[in-house]
Amino acid sequence: MRGGSRDRRAELTLGAVAVGVLALIALMVVIVFTKAWPSFSHNGLDWFGSGGDADVQLKAMIQNTPLPGHSIYYFRAWPLLWGTLLTTGLAVLIGLVFSTFAAIFIVEFAPDALRRVLDPVVRLLAAVPSVVYGLVGILAIAPWVEHHLISQERKRSVEYVVQLTGANLGVAILILTVMITPIMVAITSRSLAAVPRTWTEGSAALGVNRWRTTWRVSLRTARPAIIAGAVLATARALGEAIMLSMVSGSRGFAANPLDGTTFLFEPVRPLAATIIDYIDGLSVVPLAQTLYAMAAVLLVSSAMLSLAGWAAKQPLKKYGIRA
């Protein structure tokens, strides 16, 4: 058969491309970790702990003057990790509630005219580039917050540790929520719409009202999709660098929840944004290795998220829903 060998060749070529892509990813993981290793090995597990000002430590690396009593690699990432946890965690939590209600509205309650508007609206919000969100945040929202919500007393109350500006944790969370909500709305509403009609009809036939039917039957069926959406949104929030470096205040400060509402106005800076902010110092070896260590942490976190997302999607296959 003449076509046989050509057929085989096609399979091998395509397979080789696929394996090539796989190898590239493996290479990425290995290279990033190799480069990051000195930073981890000099600091041990304390890398993740708290101790001193992360910005001071990073600047010491740029100037090649080790902090007194420490090696040049001395670095404690806690303020940055805390910033990442706060921005990502709170944005995903708020987004989860917001997106669930919005998705229920789109699928169950919205009048047809509004539904036709909401579909493109969700798509639009998901497509706006992050730098545009950042620009709106830094030029429109941050000045407004600075003038209307941060009083002089508030500034004075924490001025011995940190200076409050319009770019802060609260604004970062607000914009991040707007960025990631559409992802969750899209996935949740798609799976709510895919809930078998007979199930909700059965519930309605038993005299259960529309809200309770949605809440008890549809939402419960769609739960894996909601989790999958949240996982995807978390990955996006975790990796968001540009927008957050613009509106989070860009200061490696561990915002303190004990400060009450002032907490929301304190500056933070997540890991990804830190990499962007210090990228000009990449030629300084210890700093570069520290930045790659941050990248390694992000890489591991996003890989774990992919895994969690995969696990969350498994029950969905039962219903033949692709999320």
Vertex 253: Cα angle to 300 and 39 (nearest 5): 40
Q: Per-residue x/- mask for other proteins, residues 152 to 191, rule CB under 8 A?
A: --------------------------x--xxx-xxx--x-
* 217, HSE (Cβ side, Cα atoms, 13 Å): 22
CA distance 244 to 43: 27
- Whichever of 229 and 252 has its CB closer to other proteins, that residue is 229
Asked if 62 interacts with other proteins (CB under 8 A), we say no
**Minimum separation from the CB atom of position 226 to other proteins (A):** 13
Extract the tokens encoding 255.
């915002």
- Are 130 and 243 within 8 A, CB to CB? yes
Quote the least distance from Cβ 266 to other proteins, whole Å. 18
Q: Cβ 295 to other proteins, closest distance in Å?
A: 5
Distance CA 283, CA 163 (A): 30
Distance in angstroms (rounded) separating the CA atoms of residues 85 and 270: 8
Q: Does residue 93 interact with other proteins by CB under 8 A?
A: no
The CA distance from 246 to 232, in Å, is: 23
CB of residue 75 to other proteins, shortest distance in Å: 17
Q: By CB under 8 A, is residue 311 in contact with other proteins?
A: no
Q: Which parts of 36-145 are beta strand (E)?
A: none
Q: Which is nearer to other proteins, 48 or 101 (CB)?
A: 101
**CA distance readout (Å), 194 to 152, 166, 316:** 52, 43, 11
Six token digits for residue 112: 């047809």
- Binding residues with other proteins: total (CB under 8 A): 103
241 close to 56: Cβ distance less than 8 angstroms: no
The answer to whether residues 289 and 38 touch, using CB atoms and an 8 Å cutoff, is yes
**Binding pattern for the stretch 184-213 against other proteins, x by CB under 8 A and - elsewhere:** -xxx--x---------xx--xx---xxxxx
For other proteins, the binding residues in 210-269 under the rule CB under 8 A are: 210-213, 215, 229, 232, 235, 238-242, 245-246, 250
Does 316 contact other proteins by CB under 8 A? no
**What is the CB neighbour count within 10 angstroms for residue 117?**
11
d(CA 235, CA 195): 26
For position 92 contacting other proteins by CB under 8 A, the verdict is no
Measure CA 28 to chain center.
21
Output the smallest distance, CB 68 to other proteins, in A: 30
Judge whether 173 and 94 are in contact, CB under 8 Å. Answer: yes
Q: Which of 109, 161, 216, 311 binds other proteins (CB under 8 A)?
A: 109
The window from 42-50, 57-65, 71-79, 134-142 that contacts other proteins (CB under 8 A) reads 134-142
Site string for other proteins, 262-301 (x = CB under 8 A): ----------x--xx--x--x--------xx--x--xx--
Per CB under 8 A, does 321 bind other proteins? no
Only one of the segments 11-19, 52-60, 65-73, 151-159 lies at the binding site for other proteins (rule: CB under 8 A); that segment is 11-19
- Interface pick for other proteins out of 49, 63, 71, 123 (rule CB under 8 A): 123
Q: How many CB atoms lie within 10 A of CB 8?
A: 10
Q: Which is nearer to other proteins, 156 or 210 (CB)?
A: 210
